[in-house]
Amino acid sequence: MYVSWNDFAVGGGALFVRVSTDNGLTWTPHQLTTGTPFIRDVQITGDLVTGDVYVAGMDEGGGGLAGPRSNLMFRSTDGGNTWTNTYTGPTFSGPGTGLCDSNSYFATMFGTYWRHMGWGEPAAFNHVVSYVYAQHGAGADAGDVFYIRSTDSGQTFSAPLKLNTDTTTRPQWQPNLSVSP
């Protein structure tokens, strides 16, 4: 079992994974980042064929609408004992139409209440790692959904492919992903 999260008591939000090999009776912590820069824990997933475990993270570039974002992928090949940052993607502008009134770090989609920074979801099967996420679209388009794919266990990824095909400026965001044999 694997649980990932940001521990804000360590370095301003270090990324951790806790691993249990006895159905949750005991847990072993593993620190993936120092907390500087802040790398958001996005999602954790496993590859049922290889046993590899992946954690998707995001450097939110200091938050807000102006900070550039980048996606990161961490991988463990030994049951979560050791972790490697296998991929840090190019920077992009995060989705959003405004900033949250109560905390301007967070971008919003509707008014000032629906916070979203572009986080996505990873999925893996037989060394193929897929990831969907949102980023600011062209011009006034507040958000589009993009897909990237790795065929080498998360070492390299394809160029981002825009999945939504609308020609409006309506924001597309909060994508989900699943894989199946």
Contact present, 121 and 43 (Cβ < 8 Å): yes
| Residue 78, in any domain of the structure | yes
| Residue 25, in any domain of the structure | yes
| Residue 168, in any domain of the structure | no
What is the average per-residue pLDDT within 146-152? 98
Number of domains in the chain: 1
Q: pLDDT at residue 120 above 80? A: yes
CB-CB neighbours of 157 under 10 Å = 21
Q: What is the pLDDT of residue 70?
A: 97
| Residue 173, in any domain of the structure | no
* Beta partners for residue 34, in sequence order: none
User: Poorest-confidence range of 20-29, 76-85, 162-171?
Assistant: 162-171
Q: pLDDT at residue 110 above 90? A: no
Q: What is the pLDDT of residue 113?
A: 67
Q: Return the ∠ at Cα 35 (arms to 16 and 96), rounded to 5°.
A: 95
| Residue 172, in any domain of the structure | no
Q: Which helix (H) or strand (E) holds 128?
A: strand 128-135
pLDDT tens digits, 68-97: 999 999 999 999 999 999 999 999 999 999
Q: What is the pLDDT of residue 170?
A: 87
| Residue 176, in any domain of the structure | no
| Residue 134, in any domain of the structure | yes
Q: pLDDT at residue 112 above 80? A: no
| Residue 124, in any domain of the structure | yes
Query: What's the domain range around 81?
Result: 2-162
